Amino acid sequence: MKACYEKYFRDNLPHIFCPGCGNGIVMGAWARAMDEMGLENNDCVAISGIGCSSRITTYIDLYTLHTAHGRALPFAIGVKMCKPDMHVFVFSGDGDCAAIGGNHFIHACRRNIDMTLIVINNSIYGMTGGQYSPLTPTGHFATTAPYGNIDPAFDICKIAEASGATFVARGDIYNIRQMIDLIKEGHNHKGFSVIEVVSSCPISYGRRNKINGAPALLRYIKDHSVPVANAAKMSAEEMKGKWPVGVLYKTEAKEYVEAYQELVARLQGGS
Amino acid sequence: MSNCFSGNEAVAYAMKQINPDVMGAFPITPSTEIPEYFAQYVANGEVNTEYVTVESEHSSMSVCIAAEAAGARSVCATSSCGLALMYEMLYVAASCRLPITLACVTRALSGPININNDHSDSMGARDTGWIQIYAENNQEAYDNFIMAMPIGETASVRLPVMTCMDGFITSHAVENIEFLDTEVVRKFVGEYNPENYLLKKENPLAVGPYDISAYYMEHKVLEAEAMKAAKARILEVADEFAKISGRHYGLFEEYRMEDAELAMVLIGSSAGTAKAAVDQLREQGVKAGLIKVRVFRPFPGEELAQALSKTKAVAVMDKSEGFSANGGPLFAETRSALYDLKQRPHLIDIVFGLGGRDLKTEDVENIFARLADIAATGETGPVYTHLGQRQRRK
Ligand SMILES: Cc1ncc(C[n+]2csc(CCOP(=O)(O)OP(=O)(O)O)c2C)c(N)n1
């Protein structure tokens, strides 16, 4: 029997993700969320940049646009402006979203355009073999930081909030049920929704950071993910090296396409 | 030390021997290993280069431009979309006359996305004002990098240099190569001592300001003159290099061209395949020869015309599709160079190897058979064709 969410995949599986990679888990969670929301394939568009995580658009059976490194969001904005009724999902990696595409990211947040961005944060440039990204924690190892990374890391959720995103959440690949719910809530929210998913790259990140093997890395992620309600009660010292998971920020603000349509209607006298 | 190095490691090793002041680093397949090896050298204290990791290639080239303008020697490596993203800054580097050295590990451009070798990236940058020198193999990749700075930094030239090698084929294949002693390399390359630079306190400069119409053209002409002057300098440096290495390089390599009637012109690693085919044809009595273009910018037009003047038919092999509807870039340059010859050979263009499609010795032999036919009949047939693609289903 086919699983209910299989209709969201093309028939080109298995995927190329390494054993233990979190990308497949996120892709599966997204498909379950799609199924629970009852979304039709052809009402949705998925857009990605370049990276292992961005390969998701190769496997899922929607309208998909696989673009250039860091540039998924401008493409997505183009789609949404032109087809406001489409449900737009964007898949991005930590490098794709926060390094080469960082500028697009803050401006997409600022506009509050209605789409769901899933940032798969494996703390590293996976595809190119393990260079540190702006989300690699300080002190952690990468091919470009063989003796430890001295750069402070971004908190991409805080950037999203500060830049104007109206739904900001963090999930992780251990708490899958929660991730599914966050994707659904993000999608149902009108405005720019950012969902960071803490994910794993056992090959390029785990191995180099002495977290050996996929189960160990998954356990590491589980042990460092703290539900927001608990995190609120913990001191900064207790939260050190850990991250809150759940909905971090939610507000209502004017959505961009709507604002644009209103402007057009006003100038053209509603014709 | 083992002499078994991949092309990437050979270039990284050349960089280490040179010990440049600054490296702008950003990864992209298949050049990623170069900044990776180099990161290790930096971390181990084997060089005292400032290793600047950035968030895109636009920034890595910007780092190099600023460093070079400040009087520091800077290096960089990239491929494909990375080079494309640098495009704006490539022009800035050349027009500010900053002799940066960039290792370009050639790879197809998107789209569709493809990580394998062809020359669409470097050929896209051919008119940016950079000197371009291409390698056939790992040894040449190493040698070209060591010759780059003495070429680019010399006062009559002052242009950035792009040394190109074929992605994966050269960058990742491991070969035995001969290294020079680090002492010898450092002496050969020397120190970078520009007369004027941004942070010189006796004579501070403004770099890159607005150039009004009354001056812009003069600057462009100077740049064009510098590119012309680079040809002589490239040969001079090659002569000096032969003295320390025993290896001789010209603007292009002529392989069995002495009495060749049929010739092929190409760039890069495919020369190895073509040489093997030429050898076989020679055994069968075919007067076949090969020209491997090493220096594409400045383009050795007169020399190439001379070298091809005695041939009857020539196939130019383009490893990039220029979309000019009139043939690839190597063909355009070669055909234009031959125009001034009194007696011109017949010329055809074959676009091959896009996105990593292989070139086999049989392919080369078939092309020579076509050339023989052209030479015999005087009928060129279709001038501009593609090799090795599947036919479109009707
Ligand atoms: C302009 C450009 N520069 C560099 C690259 C090479 N590149 C491909 S993926 C990648 C980083 C991937 O890291 P991330 O976005 O975190 O995704 P992951 O592979 O970890 O899922 C880089 C630098 C590229 N494709 N295009």
Answer whether A146 touches B (CB < 8 Å): yes
Quick check: CB of B81 below 6 Å from ligand 1?
yes
- Output the domain CATH number for residue A86: 3.40.50.970
Rounded to whole angstroms, the Cα distance separating B340 from B129 reads 25
What's the pLDDT band for B148 if we cut at 50, 70, 90?
very high
Do residues B198 and B317 both lie within one domain? no
Q: Which domain holds residue B193?
A: 2-245
Write the CB contacts of B67 (distance below 8 Å, at least 6 apart in sequence).
B21, B22, B24, B50, B73, B74
A-chain residues near B43 (CB < 8 A): 146-147
Q: What is the mean pLDDT of chain A?
A: 96
Quick check: CB of B27 below 6 Å from ligand 1?
yes
Do residues B201 and B216 both lie within one domain? yes
Rounded to whole angstroms, the Cα distance separating B347 from B179 reads 39
Check pLDDT > 80 for residue A271: no
Quick check: CB of A20 below 6 Å from ligand 1?
no
Are A68 and A105 spatial neighbours (Cβ–Cβ below 8 Å)? no
Residue B393 belongs to a domain: no
DSSP one-letter code for A208:
G
Task: Name the token pair of B183.
Answer: 């002492």
Quick check: CB of A96 below 6 Å from ligand 1?
yes
* Lowest mean pLDDT segment, chosen from A153-157, B199-203, B291-295, B345-349: B199-203
Check pLDDT > 60 for residue B202: yes
Do residues B220 and B309 both lie within one domain? no
Are B157 and B27 spatial neighbours (Cβ–Cβ below 8 Å)? no
Task: Name the token pair of B353.
Answer: 């190897």
Task: Name the token pair of B148.
Answer: 């780059």
Q: Which domain holds residue A187?
A: 2-268
Q: What is the mean pLDDT of chain B?
A: 97
Answer whether A46 touches B (CB < 8 Å): no
Do residues B140 and B57 both lie within one domain? yes
Residues B150-169 have a mean pLDDT of: 98
Check pLDDT > 80 for residue A192: yes
Identify which of A134, A145, A147 has the shortest CB distance to residue B55. Answer: A134
Residue B116 C-alpha, separation from nearest chain A C-alpha, in angstroms: 14
Identify which of A69, A127, A144 has the shortest CB distance to residue B81. Answer: A69
What is the CA(B109)–ligand 1 centre distance, in A? 15
Residues A56-85 have a mean pLDDT of: 98
pLDDT of residue B1: 54
Do residues B290 and B175 both lie within one domain? no
Check pLDDT > 80 for residue A2: no
Strand B174-176 versus strand B4-6 pairing type: antiparallel
CA of residue B62 relative to chain centroid, distance: 21
Are A36 and A3 spatial neighbours (Cβ–Cβ below 8 Å)? no
What is the CA(B385)–ligand 1 centre distance, in A? 34
- Output the domain CATH number for residue B290: 3.40.50.920
Check pLDDT > 60 for residue B365: yes
Residue B394 belongs to a domain: no
pLDDT of residue B168: 98
- Output the domain CATH number for residue B140: 3.40.50.970
pLDDT tens sequence across A138-172: 999 999 888 999 999 999 999 999 999 999 999 99
Check pLDDT > 70 for residue B359: yes
Quick check: CB of A126 below 6 Å from ligand 1?
yes
One-character DSSP codes across A6-49: GGGB-S-PSP-PPTT-SHHHHHHHHHHHHHHHT--GGGEEEEE-
Quick check: CB of A53 below 6 Å from ligand 1?
yes
* Atom from ligand 1 closest to the CA of residue A122: 20
Write the CB contacts of A101 (distance below 8 Å, at least 6 apart in sequence).
A49, A69, A70, A71, A72, A73, A92
Task: Name the token pair of A72.
Answer: 């998924």
> What chain A residue is nearest to B38 in terms of C-alpha separation?
A144
For residue A152, list its beta bridge partners. none
Do residues B167 and B291 both lie within one domain? no
Quick check: CB of B272 below 6 Å from ligand 1?
no
Share of chain B above pLDDT 90, in %: 95
Residue A231 C-alpha, separation from nearest chain B C-alpha, in angstroms: 31
Residue B392 belongs to a domain: no
pLDDT of residue B199: 83
Rounded to whole angstroms, the Cα distance separating A246 from A181 reads 9
Best of B23, B36, B46, B52 to disrupt the A interface by mutation (most A CBs within 10 Å)?
B36
Quick check: CB of A122 below 6 Å from ligand 1?
yes
Residue owning tokens 């032109």:
A82
Number of domains in chain A: 1
Identify which of B25, B39, B81 has the shortest CB distance to residue A146. Answer: B39
pLDDT of residue B270: 98
Check pLDDT > 80 for residue B2: no
Out of A15, A18, A50, mutate this one to test ligand 1's pocket (max ligand atoms within 8 Å of CB): namely A50
Sign for the CA dihedral angle at A117, A162, A154, A107 comes to positive
What is the CA(A51)–ligand 1 centre distance, in A? 5
Quick check: CB of B77 below 6 Å from ligand 1?
no
- How large is the C-alpha radius of gyration of chain B? 21
What's the pLDDT band for A209 if we cut at 50, 70, 90?
very high
pLDDT of residue B204: 87
Residue A242 C-alpha, separation from nearest chain B C-alpha, in angstroms: 25
Do residues B237 and B375 both lie within one domain? no
What's the pLDDT band for A3 if we cut at 50, 70, 90?
confident
What's the pLDDT band for B24 if we cut at 50, 70, 90?
very high
Q: What's the distance, Cα to Cα, between the start and end of chain A in Å?
A: 51
Identify which of B53, B110, B113 has the shortest CB distance to residue A144. Answer: B53
Please state whether the peptide bond connecting residue B298 to the residue before it is cis, i.e. omega within 30 degrees of 0.
yes
Rounded to whole angstroms, the Cα distance separating A80 from A87 reads 8
Best of A52, A69, A97 to disrupt the B interface by mutation (most B CBs within 10 Å)?
A69
Q: What's the distance, Cα to Cα, between the start and end of chain B in Å?
A: 57
Check pLDDT > 90 for residue B200: no
Say how many C-beta atoms besides its own lie within 10 A of residue A219's C-beta. 13
Residue B391 belongs to a domain: no
Check pLDDT > 60 for residue A1: no
Closest to B39 in 3D by CA, of A127, A151, A145, A130: A145
Do A146 and B81 count as a contact with CB atoms less than 8 A apart? no
Do A146 and B43 count as a contact with CB atoms less than 8 A apart? yes
A-chain residues near B113 (CB < 8 A): 50, 66
Do residues B85 and B173 both lie within one domain? yes
Question: In the listed set B215, B245, B275, which residue is the last one of a domain according to the structure?
Answer: B245
Do residues B129 and B14 both lie within one domain? yes
Residue A70 C-alpha, separation from nearest chain B C-alpha, in angstroms: 9
Answer whether A52 touches B (CB < 8 Å): no
A-chain residues near B39 (CB < 8 A): 143-146
Question: In the listed set B213, B245, B277, which residue is the last one of a domain according to the structure?
Answer: B245
pLDDT tens sequence across B46-65: 999 999 999 999 999 999 99
How many interface pairs between A and B have CB atoms less than 8 angstroms apart?
A: 40
Identify which of A66, A128, A132 has the shortest CB distance to residue B28. Answer: A128
Q: With helix as H, strand as E and coil as C, how does chain B read? A: CCCEEEHHHHHHHHHHHHCCCEEEECCCCCCCHHHHHHHHHHHCCCCCCEEEECCCHHHHHHHHHHHHHCCCCEEEEECHHHHHHHHHHHHHHHHCCCCCEEEEEECCCCCCCCCCCCCHHHHHCCCCCCEEEECCCHHHHHHHHHHHHHHHCCCCCCCCEEEEEECCCCCCCEEECCCCCHHHHHHHHCCCCCCCCCCCCCCCCCCCCCCCHHHHHHHHHHHHHHHHHHHHHHHHHHHHHHHHHCCCCCCEEEECCCCCCEEEEECCCHHHHHHHHHHHHHHCCCCEEEEEECEEECCCHHHHHHHHCCCCEEEEEECCCCCCCCCCHHHHHHHHHHCCCCCCCEEEEEECCHHHCCCCHHHHHHHHHHHHHHHHHCCCCCCEEECCCCCCCC
For residue B53, list its beta bridge partners. B25
Do residues B148 and B25 both lie within one domain? yes
Q: Is A226 helix (H, G, I), strand (E, B) or coil?
A: strand
What is the CA(B154)–ligand 1 centre distance, in A? 36
Residues A175-203 have a mean pLDDT of: 98
Do residues B150 and B79 both lie within one domain? yes
Identify which of A66, A125, A145 has the shortest CB distance to residue B27. Answer: A125
Number of domains in chain B: 2
Q: Which residue type sits at B290?
A: L
Share of chain A above pLDDT 70, in %: 99
CA-nearest residue for atom 5, ligand 1, is: B28
Residue owning tokens 């061209």:
B257
pLDDT tens sequence across B242-276: 999 999 999 999 999 999 999 999 999 999 999 99
- Interface predicted TM-score (ipTM): 0.92
Q: How far is CA B375 from CA A49, B262, B284, B381, in A?
A: 50, 8, 17, 11
Question: In the listed set B197, B217, B245, which residue is the last one of a domain according to the structure?
Answer: B245
pLDDT of residue B98: 97
pLDDT tens sequence across B303-357: 999 999 999 999 999 999 999 999 999 999 999 999 999 999 999 999 999 999 9
Check pLDDT > 70 for residue A64: yes
Check pLDDT > 60 for residue A39: yes
pLDDT tens sequence across A80-134: 999 999 999 999 999 999 999 999 999 999 999 999 999 999 999 999 999 999 9
pLDDT of residue B84: 98
Residue B28 C-alpha, separation from nearest chain A C-alpha, in angstroms: 6
Answer whether A125 touches B (CB < 8 Å): yes
Do residues B38 and B182 both lie within one domain? yes
Say how many C-beta atoms besides its own lie within 10 A of residue A255's C-beta. 19
* Lowest mean pLDDT segment, chosen from A11-15, A165-169, B31-35, B187-191: A11-15
What is the CA(B24)–ligand 1 centre distance, in A? 16
DSSP one-letter code for A145:
B
